[in-house]
Structure 1
Amino acid sequence: MPLSLLDDLRALAPTIRKLAPQIEQDREIPASLIDQLAALGVFRLAAPADCGGLEADPVILIRVFEELGRADGSTGWTAMIAAATGMALGHLPPATARSMLEDPHFLIAGVAAPTGRATPVEGGHHVTGRWAFASAGRHATWLIGGALTPAGPRLFVMEPSSLTFHDTWHVSGLRGTGSNDFAADDVFVPDDRTFSLAEPPTQSGALYAFPALSLLALGIGAVSLGIARAAIEDFTELAKSKINPLTGKPLASRPTAQTAVAQAMALHGAGFAYLSEAVAAAGPDTASRALLRLAITTATTNAAQAVNLVYKAAGGNAVYDTSPLQRHFRDIHVATQHAMVSPEVTETVGAMLLGEEVSSVRI
């Protein structure tokens, strides 16, 4: 299924590209496109196979997220968050996961940061809190919120109908992700819908042995690489059609344009190869996890550098709303702001490589 899914997504990509300006204007993905992605199984990629998910290999996830990011940054990001968050079902009782996946519109999203508070009661917890950056939240059938309990932080899976949404996502890029805030006010969450990533998963498949934080983070690098590939392709098209009125030659004939597109392609290729290799070699030990996070951060950084190169080489044409290059530029520079690929990640890995003691919690 995952490999045929790539073919299906490539066939859907032209439709997504045409929708991209409207997606940005509306600040969310249209329900019809969400339904198409759900029907293809995108949101089940990291959910347990024996419960109705696809339980795809992380290397496949990279290819899927990169392909969707290439079609549209906001669509890629939304799909990536929803698909990767599906790994949470591997930490829930199988019967609970199975019942969630019975819904053909299944889409789980949320925020792991423990910005809520949870009070234990008989049979579960009462959860109160507010969570920011909830990409795909408006389309979710289930939302996760991290909260502090007397025993430590846990994750709680809540029904959207019990939550309040706040229209906060007024931003420079990735506007179509609809990453608004949501809040819970004393919402009861039963015991079978709460878990901790510090506890062993309920599923034994290889996907759930993969470092949980890295599984959630790898899509950032993959979608970013997709945005870079789209920027390179759009610049290539522009370079062939943009004619210098003084010389009559296309932008493509200029050495600066040629150098920019070659360097951008190299940055994309290096980032994709490094990320793919690190994911394939990932293990549970601290050193392996740290190097994987470095590869994810590097892929994101490389993608931003690639977009910067072709954006600058495009000249004044790139600043107009009608140019997709300006959207790629804004989208990629929102992606680089995510905490999962912050400079602190590189600092932590560097400290480990130099023999300094680092906290495994950060990676």
Structure 2
Amino acid sequence: MSTAHHPFAAYEEHQLVHRARELEPMIRACADEIEARGSVTPDVIDAITDRGLFRLNIPARSYGEQAHPLVVFHVIEALAHADASTAWVVMIASEVSLLAAWLPNAVLSQMIGGEEPGGPRCRIVGSSRVMTTAQSDVSGYRLSGRLNFVSGVEHATHIVATFVDFDDQVRFALLPQRAGKVINTWDAMGLQGTGSHDWELEDAFVQQGHTWAALDQPAAEGPQWRVPDRSLVAWIANAGHAVGTAQGALDDLASAASEATTGDSQALRDREPFRLEFARAQAEVAAARAFVQEAWTRAWPSVEAGEPDASQLARCRLANVHAVHASADAVERLFRASGTNAARRSWTLERRWRDLQTARQHGAALEWNFDAGARPMLGLPARRAR
């Protein structure tokens, strides 16, 4: 089948995906430095910003990309093929930007610089963990507290913070990154280059109009904001991250498989047990990718029509969570099959394995996602994530 007739070509070959692929040599060349320094290098951040990849889910009315979920999937997949930490930072920005679009367009545009053609150069990250306390103010709130696991916080322009208001309602606030202080706390076995530090506020003022309640209706127009459960659209990016990381492991290992391992002069590729495990891993990753593509392609027309189909969206959730677990399992399979060289830092496999095991701890991979996917299929009420 030619690319022109491929059913998913419009998404796989989108210009944003090509921009992400063009960055792979640069990102790969910096991957060791990103891991060692604990954050994405400034030149890589600038290159990603220049290509508009930090505004994937910013509304078009604010000169964002407002990309189709499958375009987001393939952009993150392409970046993760190069380096999982870099892709994770862009992934989080895409997810939090989707949430920031609950603000009225005029407010969001004014805050992020999305008032001129060419698109904003903002990088919005944040945390949905309620770690911030609020005090009343005449025209807003004064926030104090600490958000943790704020991936990409060092390079962010804006942060979405979560707090509880005086009516015990969960609210979100969009603030400049400079309103708080970065606390260096990130020390994890995987995704070491994400700089997922804490961000601390101390009596920081935020206008009422720069906040929104979790139960509010989004101000942004577009199908991305018509899905009843906002985490569903956000977390397709996690699926792309996992699939891209796993495919990167497969491709890197295919190049390295001509090497022998300690205690055996026979190259990996010449051993049937290795080939069988490699083939199974490739099939698992390819199948996970195809499930995401098929489920979202089938579900999205009803969302665009303003009539989201609960059973189809349930399949999308299953596809998202399955992709994370299948990809992590596939790389686990490769790691076990590749002998002692798999543990060497000179191979990328051990890093890919660590990165996916860490990524698996995100809410997008938790078991309740499987339950949420199963419920509509069994005639049960849908489960809302958050």
TM over 0.5: yes
SS at 1:129 equivalent: strand
CA contact (8 A) 1:47 1:88 kept: no
- Match of residue 329 from structure 1: 353
Q: TM-score if structure 2 supplies the norm length?
A: 0.87
CA contact (8 A) 1:46 1:87 kept: yes
Q: 1:231 aligns with which of 249, 253, 258?
A: 249
Structure 2: which amino acid aligns with 1:150?
Answer: F
Distance 2:253 2:263 in 1: 19
1:274-325 CA-to-partner distances (Å, cap 9, x unmatched) read 1122233155455444432222110000100111111111110011111111
- Match of residue 341 from structure 1: 365
SS at 1:229 equivalent: helix
Q: 1:185 aligns with which of 202, 227, 237?
A: 202
SS at 1:43 equivalent: coil
Distance 1:120 1:279 in 2: 43
Q: 1:314 aligns with which of 338, 343, 356?
A: 338
SS at 1:131 equivalent: strand
SS at 1:28 equivalent: coil
SS at 2:135 equivalent: strand
Q: CA offset at residue 148 of structure 1?
A: 0.8
Q: CA offset at residue 245 of structure 1?
A: 7.6
CA contact (8 A) 2:317 2:372 kept: no
Q: Which aligned pairs between 1:288-307 and structure 2 lie closer than 5 A? A: 288-307=312-331
| Count of residues in correspondence between the two structures | 361
Q: CA offset at residue 356 of structure 1?
A: 4.8
Structure 1: which amino acid aligns with 2:337?
Answer: A
Structure 1: which amino acid aligns with 2:218?
Answer: P
Q: CA offset at residue 113 of structure 1?
A: 2.1
Structure 2: which amino acid aligns with 1:34?
Answer: I
Question: Which segments of 5 or more consecutive residues in structure 1 lack a partner in the other structure?
Answer: none
Q: Which aligned pairs between 1:70-81 and structure 2 lie closer than 5 A? A: 70-81=81-92
1:68-103 CA-to-partner distances (Å, cap 9, x unmatched) read 111100001001111232223421121222123427
Question: Which segments of 5 or more consecutive residues in structure 2 lack a partner in the other structure?
Answer: 1-10, 115-119
- Match of residue 126 from structure 2: 110
How well do the aligned residues superpose, as a CA RMSD in angstroms? 2.1
Distance 1:4 1:346 in 2: 33
Q: 2:278 aligns with which of 252, 261, 282?
A: 261
Q: Does 1:35 align with 2:41?
A: no
Q: Which aligned pairs between 1:183-262 and structure 2 lie closer than 5 A? A: 183-210=200-227, 211-242=229-260, 249-262=266-279
Q: Does 1:148 align with 2:164?
A: yes
The 3 A distance-change label for structure 1 pair 147 and 285 is farther
- Match of residue 361 from structure 1: 384
Going by fraction, where is helix more abundant, 1 or 2? 1
The 3 A distance-change label for structure 1 pair 49 and 11 is same
Q: 2:293 aligns with which of 276, 288, 292?
A: 276
Q: TM-score if structure 1 supplies the norm length?
A: 0.93
- Match of residue 47 from structure 1: 58
Structure 2: which amino acid aligns with 1:153?
Answer: V
- Match of residue 5 from structure 2: none
CA contact (8 A) 2:54 2:90 kept: yes
Structure 2: which amino acid aligns with 1:313?
Answer: A
SS at 1:127 equivalent: strand
The 3 A distance-change label for structure 1 pair 348 and 90 is closer
SS at 2:31 equivalent: helix
Moved more, 339-348 or 163-172: 339-348
CA contact (8 A) 1:43 1:83 kept: yes
Q: 1:97 aligns with which of 94, 108, 130?
A: 108
Q: CA offset at residue 347 of structure 1?
A: 3.4
- Match of residue 127 from structure 1: 143
Distance 1:153 1:190 in 2: 16
CA contact (8 A) 1:112 1:145 kept: yes
1:100-151 CA-to-partner distances (Å, cap 9, x unmatched) read 3427531000001222222343221122221111001111110011111123
- Match of residue 59 from structure 1: 70
SS at 2:232 equivalent: helix
SS at 2:80 equivalent: helix
